[in-house]
Amino acid sequence: MSQSAYRAPMTAAEAAQALTHPGARALSGGTDLLVQMKSGRARPEAIIDLKRISGAIGVRETADSFVIGAMTPCAALGEHEGLVKAWPGVVEAANLIGSTQVQGRATLAGNVCNASPAADSVPALIAARAVCRIVGPSGERDAAVEDIAAGPGKNTLSAGEFILSFTLPKRPARASDAYLRFIPRTEMDIAVVGVGVSLTVDEAGIVTAAEVGLGAVAPTALRVVEAGAALVGTKLDDAALSALSRAVEAVCRPISDKRGTAAFRTRTAGVLAARAAKIAYARAGGVA
Ligand SMILES: Cc1cc2nc3c(=O)[nH]c(=O)nc-3n(C[C@H](O)[C@H](O)[C@H](O)COP(=O)(O)OP(=O)(O)OC[C@H]3O[C@@H](n4cnc5c(N)ncnc54)[C@H](O)[C@@H]3O)c2cc1C
C-alpha cells in the first residue's frame, strides 16, 4: 500500500476544501476504502477522515425526523431505540453489513458513496425516502439516496462534496419497513438481490402509501415507484403481491455471475419483494 497523507478536519468547511484536491478521498469507516488501497485499486494522495466533524456521528431526533450522522457506525444504529422502532428495515439492512467487527466501523455514508449495486443499506434507505445532506465547497444541498450512485463504484458527488447526514422522517402510527436480501451463503456475502419495502396502513389494514427500493439487479439501486403503487389501496392480497412482483421484475437489468443468473436474480427479486412487503405490513399492524 503506498503512503497517503492523513487529515482529520474538525469542520465541514475544512473537509470540503481538503476534498477538492484531485488526489483526496473521503474516509468514514474505511471498510471499503482500506480494502481497495490494500489491493492497489485505490491510491489516494490524501485521506480525509470525516469522523471528527460536528454532526458526523450520532442519531439526533427532531420533532419530525431522525438525523443520522453519516459517519455513525452501523452497529450504533441498532442501539437507538427510537430509530429501531420507527425504521426497523433500515436498521436491519445496516446490521447485515459484514460482521459485528465490520459494523463497528462501516457507515451508511460509505455504503452509499462506494456505489456498489449490492450495497445493503441502499434499498432500505431508498424505500425510507431518506434525504442525504451533502456539504461541498459552495455550501449545502440535499439529494435523494437513489441519486448518489452513478454506476458500479461511481457516484454523482462533485469535487469537494461529501455526505454529512441522512434524514429519515418520523413515522405515523401503523407504518413500518423491512429489508431482505438473498445471498448464497448464510452470512458475509454480497447480495444477489436486496429489497427494501416501507409502507403505511390505515385502521382497516388498507395500504395508504408504499415505497420499494431494489438492489443488485441493475447498475445502481432503484426506486420502483410502480411496485409501491401496486400495494396502495390493497390489504396485500395475492393479486396485489403478484402486481408488486411483476413491477419489480420489470425493472430488473441484472448481470449473470457465479452468484446467480440474470433470470434467477429477476425471479428472486419478485419473490423477495413480496416477502419484504408482508413483513413490513405485519410490523405496521396490518390485518390481513
Ligand atoms: C469483510 C467485509 C464484509 C462486507 N460485507 C458487506 C455486506 O454484507 N453488505 C454491504 O453492503 N457491504 C459490505 N461490505 C462493504 C463495506 O463494509 C460497506 O460498504 C460499508 O458500509 C462502507 O462504509 P465505510 O464507512 O467503511 O466506507 P469507507 O471505506 O470509509 O468509504 C467507502 C467509499 O465511500 C467514500 N466515502 C466515505 N464516506 C463518505 C462521505 N461521507 N461522503 C462521500 N464519500 C464518502 C470513500 O471515499 C470511499 O470511496 C463489507 C466489507 C468487508 C471488508
pLDDT of the residue at 190? 86
State the angle between helix axes of 262-283 and 238-251 in degrees (0 to 180), rounded to the nearest 10. 140
Exposure pattern of 8-23 as b/e (b: 16+ CB <10 Å)? ebeebeebbbbbebee
pLDDT of the residue at 122? 98
pLDDT of the residue at 209? 98
pLDDT of the residue at 187? 74
- Residues sharing a CB contact under 8 Å with residue 134, sequence separation 6 or more, in sequence order: 140, 141, 142, 143, 157, 161, 162, 163, 164
CB neighbours (10 Å) of residue 256?
Answer: 11
pLDDT of the residue at 258? 87
Indicate the CATH number of 175-283 among 3.60.15.10, 3.40.30.10, 3.30.390.50, 1.10.3720.10.
Answer: 3.30.390.50
- Does the beta carbon of 24 sit less than 6 angstroms from any atom of ligand 1? no
CA distance 168 to 211: 14
| Ligand 1 centroid distance, CA of 106 (Å) | 6
CATH 3.30.465.10 region(s) of the chain? Answer: 57-169
pLDDT of the residue at 188? 77
Give the chain's residues under pLDDT 70: 1-2, 287-288
| Ligand 1 centroid distance, CA of 174 (Å) | 32
Reply yes or no on domain 57-169 having CATH 3.50.20.10: no
